[in-house]
Chains A and B, each alone.
Chain A
Amino acid sequence: MAVRVAEEWLTICGGCEVSILDIGEPLIDVLALLEFVHMPVLMDHKYYGQTGEGTVLEIPEADVGMISGGVRNEKEKHVTEAMRAQCETLIALGSCACFGGIPAMANMYSLDDLYSKVYRESPTTEPAEVPSGTVPSLLDRVYAIDEVVPVDLYIPGCPMNPGMIAEALTSLIDETPFELAERSVCDECPVKRERKSGEPIERPLQDAQFDLDGPLENMRCLMEQGILCLGPVTRAGCARTREAGAPKVPRCIQGYMPCRGCFGPIRMDANPLVDMMGALSSNGLDVRQVLDRRATFNRYIGARNRLRPLPSRPAR
C-alpha cells in the first residue's frame, strides 16, 4: 500500500518544495510508493471544504506529514496542530521548520516594534493601521515546529539537501532509523588548513583566494583566510551526494563560499554564537571585527529562544 503523505507550507519561501523536486531521478522511484493526500503547493485542497461549507479545519489522515516553514501566525499554529493530529510521523522540513529560519531573525524585536517599523516608521511607507480581522493575527514571535507540537524527524538545510530527503523518506518506508550526524561541517570539509591565523576577519562575501582550475583540496581554509565561516559550529550533512563515489564536499564550499550555518547547531541545544565567539577568541582572532554578531551567528536559528528582544535593564 502506498504511503500517504500530507505536506504543508507555513512561513516559507517555497525553496524546500523545489528541493523535493530537486531529488531528481530517484524521486521517480520514491513517488511510486507515495500518495499525496494534501499538498497546498501542488493541489487545491481547502481547509474548510471546497466551498467553505465546513466548520472545522480538515486535513486528511496521512502516514507521513511534512511541514516546511516556521509558525508565525494563528492560522499556521492551527494548521500545525491539525497536521500533528492527522499524521502518524511528522517531519520538520528545512531550517525554518527546524529552527525558525530567516524569518525568525525578526525575533530580535518585539511585535510592537515590528508593527511600527513596517506600518508606520519605514520612510517608504504610508502610515497605516495594523491590519486586523480579515487576516490571522501574528503570534508574539516566530516558532519552530517543535515548539508548537512534537516532531519526529528533522531535515535541516536552507534549502535541504535533496539526497537527505530521499534518504529520510526511504528510511521511513523501509522502517530503518534516520539520524543526523553529530559532526561539524569542518569534519567534511576538504580544504587545506595551514595554521592558526591572525588575519583580520572579513565579511562572508569577500572574495576567497583559490585556483579555479585546481582541486578544492588546494584552497586554504576560508576561516584562515579571514572570511567568517560558520562551519565549526554547524551540523554536517549538506555534503552528502546522490551519486555513489562522488566526493563529499559541503555545498557552500563547493561554490568557494563560506558556510552560512543553515544546517543549524551541531547539537539541538547548543548556542553557536557563544561557541563561535569562544572559538574565534581562543584562536587569536579579533572578535570585535565581526559585524552584527547576533544576526550573523543566529541567521537560520532564531526560534527556540535563541534570538529574542534584549531584556530591558532594571531601573537603577
Chain B
Amino acid sequence: MKRRFFHGEGWRKVTEPAGNMPIEAKIKPALTSLLYQLADDDFILAYRGAEWLGLAPHIEEDVAFSSISQDTMGHAAMFYQLLADLGEGNVDSLAHARKTSERRNAVLLELVNGPGHYLSSAQYDWAFAVVRNYFYTQAKKIRLDSLKNSSYRPLAEVALKVNMELYYHLLHWKTWFIQLMQAGGEARTRMEAAIGKVLADFEGVLILGPLAKEMAEYGLIEKEEVSKQRWLHTMKPVFESVNLAVSEANLAMKTGNGRIGEHTVDLDDALSTLSEVYNINPAASW
C-alpha cells in the first residue's frame, strides 16, 4: 500500500532500509514535514504579497511585485500538490482548511505588512517588505539549489522549475535592498529597523524543524547548518557593500518556532481572511 504514495521510480538515491521498516514509511514523516514547510512558507508570503496589491510605492513596482507573489503562490501550489500526491489531502484543503497550529511556515513570513487593513487605512512598511522578501528569497534559493538534488525525485523536479523563476525574484529584491540602503537618510534608518526586525526571526526561516536531521540523512535536502552557512556567506559581500555588519549572532527566533506550530495572531487573521469564501462551503466547486 505504501508504494502508492511513493512511486518507487521517484527515488533516485535510496538509503538502506533500517531493520524491517519499509523505507517509504520511514522517510515519509521527514518528507512531508519538509514539504509542509516549503508549501506553507510560500503560501503565506504570497498572501502577504497579495495584500500589497495596489499599494506599492509606484505602479511599475505593483506590476512586478504582484507577478512575484503570483509565482510564489504557484510554487506553494506545486508543493501542496506533492503533499496531495503523498495522500495528505487535496491541495485546496491543505491550503485553506488547516488550522494555525498545523501550519509549518516560519513565523517571520506570517507577520503583517504593517499597520492597518489591506482594504482600508493600510500603512504598509516597504522597508520590511524589501528586507523580508530579499532575505527569504535568498534562503529559498539556497534551499532549492539543494532540493534540485533531492533523493525524492518529484521534489527535485519541482525545485528545478521553481528555481528558474527565482533568479528574477532575487535580482528584484536585491536591487531594491541595495538602492534603499545606499540612499541614506530616512530610507537607511527605516531599512536598518526592518533588518533588525527580520533578523530577530530569521533563524525560524533557516531551520527545518524537529526532523531536520532525518531530512538530511535521507538525502531529501542538505543539513540545515550547511544552508545557514551558505546564506551567511552569500549575504556577506552584499552587507559589506552597504556597510552593514551582520553575523550569525544576529540571527534569532524571537516570536516563535513556526516549524513546530507556534504562530501569532497575525496568522490566525490571515487564515480566516484567505479561507473566508472557501469556508462558505468547502465541499462546493468554486
Task: Tell me if chain B binds chain A.
Answer: no
| Residues on A facing B (Cβ under 8 Å) | none
